[in-house]
Structures are given as C-alpha cells and as structure tokens.
Structure 1
Amino acid sequence: DPSDSNHTMVIVDSNDAIAPLISSPLNASYIGPIVYHADGGGVADREHISDLELVNRVRTGQVTYTDYNYEHPKIPQEMTQAGELDQDLKQFDYPGRYVDPL
C-alpha cells in the first residue's frame, strides 16, 4: 500500500484480495501487484514471489554465568558481560562449568 510518506507491505492469503492501485504519474510503469506463485510448475508471466520465510531473532543484552565450588566457597565464580543494546533482556547460566585454573 503506497502513500506519499511511506510504503506498507500487505500479505494476503489470496491473490484476488489485492486491491487495484489507482494510476498516477508516480506509478506509470506499474503492471499490477507482485503476486505469489508456488513452485508447483508452470512459468510465471511476470515478477512474483515464490518463497517467503518469517524469521524472528532475540538477542540478549546481558549474559551472566555463575557457579559454585564447594572446595573454595568464598571465591566468587560469576562473570557478567553487558552489551550496548537490550540490557533488559538477560540470560543466566548455572552451572557455568568453570575450570579450576590451578
């Protein structure tokens, strides 16, 4: 859906649900909406989408590893590292599986 200030991608479950675009000088070369053609054979006669994949990613902004060593209980075994973004998204890992450096 184009407008003067932005564009919005509209995904529909039927190519017949796509509204026609009103002709204007800005879209004089417009030949119709870009439609979906599954890879089921045949030859598409115009530009189309054949595959669409939705991907979601979440990144933590802070990670903390902690552990406990019964032989040295007073030695802290915790490490925290924070990034620049999304510090409210935190990941904790216990046991941290620290290795005794000695």
Structure 2
Amino acid sequence: MIHGDMADIAAEYEQRDRDLALARRRAVPMEEPDEDSNGNRYCLDCGEIIPKARVAAVMAVRCVECAGRREKMLRVQGAVCKPTLEDAE
C-alpha cells in the first residue's frame, strides 16, 4: 500500500510505470542491423532498403510496414504495451 499525499502517490505510480516500461524494453532483444558496405540498411523481415532518414531518426532495423506488423504482433502477445521509437515515424 502506498502512503503519503496525492503528489507522492502519483510520483510512485509514475516511477512504477517507468520501471515496468524499461523492463519490457530489456525483454525484447536488440537486433543487429543488416547493412552493406555502401551504408544501405535492409529490413530484417522483408529485405527492402530502409530509407536513410528513417534509419537516422529511429535507428530502424525494419521498414515502416514490417515494424508496424511486428509491433502489433508483440502487443497481442503482451510483450509491449507502449509505442517504441520506431512507431514515432
């Protein structure tokens, strides 16, 4: 049980949310990008070239379409409940 005034209680809940979000991020392993010697990065799922602006913005390893499909799949499985950086695009 959390005790204290409303601000303390709100701060405690916010910290718990942050801790849970970080734990979920750590549960999803980081993936190595597929790049060629020319600096092109390829989607890990479909193999299409990922636009350089997307790579620069979110360090993407998947194209927009594949990232969206993967995010939906992870949400259904319960692995992710909040948008990732790749969803910001």
TM-score bracket relative to the smaller structure: under 0.3
More strand by share: 1
Q: Which has the larger radius of gyration?
A: 1
TM-score by structure 1 length? 0.21
